[in-house]
Structure 1
Amino acid sequence: MKDFFEENDDESDYINNEIVNDLLKEEFGLCFQCNRPNTGENWCKVCNSEKFRQDFDKWTSGNENIDKFIQEAQLNANNNFELLEWIPYNRLRNIKLPAQGEFVYYAIWLDGWIDHLDYEKQEWRRIFNKLEQAYNIANDPNIRNPLQSNENYGQPVALKNLSDSSDINYDFLNEYKEWWSNDSYLIPLLGITQDPDKSNYMIVTPW
């Protein structure tokens, strides 16, 4: 009797997986590289997670808990809204300090966020815009890391300072993990950076 139920459970799981795959194939098509159903628009979870895994040794936040947090998001992302990146502070420009009583900084992320994987070149294609108006505030004394004349592309982002987070732990990240999981389509959590002067970590979202 036990074997009967186990066999039926296995068959049920197989059928459910086939149904999900058919729905994904119909909505997003097949992956150019592995021919499996994409899990999002121009997004194959299998191929992209492997690419992320190969790049794990190319970056670190300097904090094991944050590295783990970001890596888990990258391996489990079904689309580009669900992934996270470590964003080096030196890739941010025109960081405008918030007015009194505000907690969010404005900045430009030179790299922009990931859109999809170019399978032929094995490179991430990113979303960014040509910067035109951004040069107007580069000389503002209230900004940090002003945009340079040879830096032509980027994306506006918001930086939320995490107070007293220099020794951040995994439990501390759970609140943001829950927020990111529930609202990633409404307010995508792009990644995490660190203010080198204050050592606090900062959450990065679209502006």
Structure 2
Amino acid sequence: MSERPILHEYAASANCYKIRLTAALLDQPLDRREYDIMKGETRTPAFLEQVNANGRIPVLQIGDRFLPESNAACFWLAEGTRLVPDDRFDRADMLRWMFFEQYNHEPNVATVRFWMRWVGEENFTDLQRALVPVKQEAGKAALALMDEHLALHQWFAGQSLSIADIALYAYTHVAEDSGLFSLADYPAVQAWIAKVESTPGFAPFET
């Protein structure tokens, strides 16, 4: 790549970590700009006008263009590399698992992690308190589906690690942070986590 992309991020977010991990596995340097989401730094007029009108990170900046959404940024980095399968069906299957991550996994596993670690139960709204058991059950269902797949396949799409694995690894490997999930219940997921972490170029999560 001729560009040196800029990652607008909050380092403790696993959505931002997805992009850093993708770049690390491809030996792609990134410049990084940190924002404190707890202080509202992604809601300032300057950020909303210049970086992302949706007021969220991560955002990958390529030249003077800005690409929000973690999985889109991972795809931009990985297209044409070993992290995207050559086979047409496998590429579509990769996208299927990335959509699953954003629709079934992240809204449950990641959300309760954020609530428990950064909001704190003592600060929960009535709605959050009511939603915790709902999200816990949905998160367990997502992890169980992953475990069933990984009991029969080494990776989520194709025959090697892809950005589908990266997308799902990011919040799965820290799922226990919320205190609501036990990865010991999902042995195939645990074995897959170990494989991801043994991949050459792997970069650990900054917490």
TM-based fold match above 0.5: no
Q: Over alpha carbons, which structure has the higher Rg?
A: 1
TM-score (norm 1): 0.25
User: Higher helix fraction: Structure 1 or Structure 2?
Assistant: 2
Name which structure has the greater RCO, CA cutoff 8 Å, separation 6+. 2
TM-score (norm 2): 0.25
